[in-house]
Amino acid sequence: MKIAVPKETKPREKRVALTPEVVKSLLATGFECIVETGAGTGAFLDDALYAAAGAVIAPDAASAYAPADVVIGVNAPLPREIALMKKGSALISFMYAASNPDLVAACVKQGVSSFSMDAIPRISRAQRMDALSSQANLGGYKAVLVAANALGKVLPLLMTAAGTIRPATVVIMGAGVAGLQAVATAKRLGAIVEVSDIRPETKEQVESLGGKFIEVTGDKSLKVEGGYVKEVSPEFLARQKQLVAQHVEKADIVITTAQVSGKKAPVLVTMDTVERMRPGSVIVDMAVEQGGNCEGSELDKVVVKHGVTIIGESNLPGLLPRTASDLYARNAEAFLTHVATKNGFAWDMSDEITKGSLITHQGKAVHPGCEPAKP
C-alpha cells in the first residue's frame, strides 16, 4: 500500500497529516510513503526529515496522488485534487461530509472510497483515532492564550505594593473537549472561570476543573447522541441566552465553542449583549466557521465592535502546527492500521469504526448522514 501525504491547500493551514516519526513507523509495518515537497514546512518539518525517515519526496501534488492507494490529509482535497486520485484508491481526512456535498460527489465520480476523521464514532476503542478531540483540545488551549494576548489586563490576582489587581473573569460557552481545556488553561493562568453548557452532565466535569457552572434548566427537546447535541428547542436556547448574557456582560473574556452537528452553530452572544460588555473585553468565537456563536464575529478576522475585540479564528489548532500535526498523525496512523494492512483495506462493514467513518465506497455515498450522490 502506497500512502500519499499532499501539501495542504486550504488557506492559512500549516498542519501536515503525517510526521516523519509516523512515516517511519508506517514504513516499518510495510507501507510505502510518498510526501509532496513542502508538505511539512508549515509545521517546521522539512523534506530532509521525511527523506531520512524513508519517504519518497514527490515534486508536486499530481506526482504524489497518481500512484497512491490511500491519500491522507488534514483537510479534504478540493474536487480538482480528488480528480488526480486513481480509481479504487482511498481518502482519509476531515470531510464534514453532511455539509460538503460537492466533495462527496467528487469522490463518487472518481470512484474513490473516503473515510472522514470527524465521523469516527466516539467509543472507547476509537480514542486513539479521535482527531476531533485531539485538535479541539489544542484549540481550547490556544483560544485562552489568544484571548489573553488581546486583553489589556492580566488574568491572575496580583497583590503588589501599588495595590491589588483583581483576577479576570472568563466565561466559556460549551463544555466539550475544547471548552474543558479552555477551563483548565484559564484556571492555570489564574482567572475566575464560569461555564455554560446545555448538557447537564457536564456540570461535574466543569466543577472538577475549578470552574463555576452556569446552569440552565433543560427540557424534553434536548437530545444528545455520542456526546454531541443533535437537537434543542428554540425556547431552551432563548432561556440560555438570557441567563448567560448576564454573565457575559460582566466578563473580561468570552470563549464560545457551541456547535450542533451538521447544522449552523447557534447564536449565543447577540450584538445587544456585545454592546453591554465592558470596553476592552474579548470574545473568541471558536464556532465561527459554522456560522458563529457571536453575532458580530467575522471569519478569520479580528474586529472591534462597541469596544469589544471579537476574534474569529477558524483554525486555532493550526496556530500550533507542530503539536497539532504530531497528534493528528498519530490519530491517522491508528485509524489506518485499524482499517487496513500493508496489503490493502479490510472493508469490514460489521466493524463500528469502519461503518461509522466510511463516507463513499464503490461509486456510492454510503454514510447515512450524506445525501445520495450521483456518479
What CA–CA distances, in Å, run from 52 to 4, 18, 209, 262? 17, 14, 42, 41
Cell numbers describing residue 369: 448522514
> Which of the following is catalytic: 133, 135, 259, 357?
133
d(CA 212, CA 335): 36
d(CA 100, CA 252): 36
> Which of the following is catalytic: 47, 188, 228, 322?
228
> Which of the following is catalytic: 63, 122, 188, 239?
122
Which residue matches cell numbers 459554522? 290
- Would residue 357 show up in a list of annotated catalytic residues for this protein? no
> Which of the following is catalytic: 69, 130, 252, 326?
130
> Which of the following is catalytic: 99, 125, 127, 278?
127
- Would residue 228 show up in a list of annotated catalytic residues for this protein? yes
- Would residue 141 show up in a list of annotated catalytic residues for this protein? no
The burial of 317, by beta-carbon neighbours within 10 Å (0-12 exposed, 13-18 middle, 19 or more buried), is given as: buried
C-beta neighbour count of 307 within 10 angstroms: 12
Tell how strand 158-160 and strand 163-165 pair up.
antiparallel
- Would residue 133 show up in a list of annotated catalytic residues for this protein? yes
- Would residue 272 show up in a list of annotated catalytic residues for this protein? no
**Alpha helices (H) along the chain:** 20-28, 47-53, 61-65, 79-82, 101-110, 131-150, 177-188, 203-208, 234-248, 271-276, 321-339, 352-357
Three-state SS sequence of 128-168? HHCHHHHHHHHHHHHHHHHHHHHCCCCCCCEEECCEEECCC
Catalytic residue IDs: 122, 127, 130, 133, 228
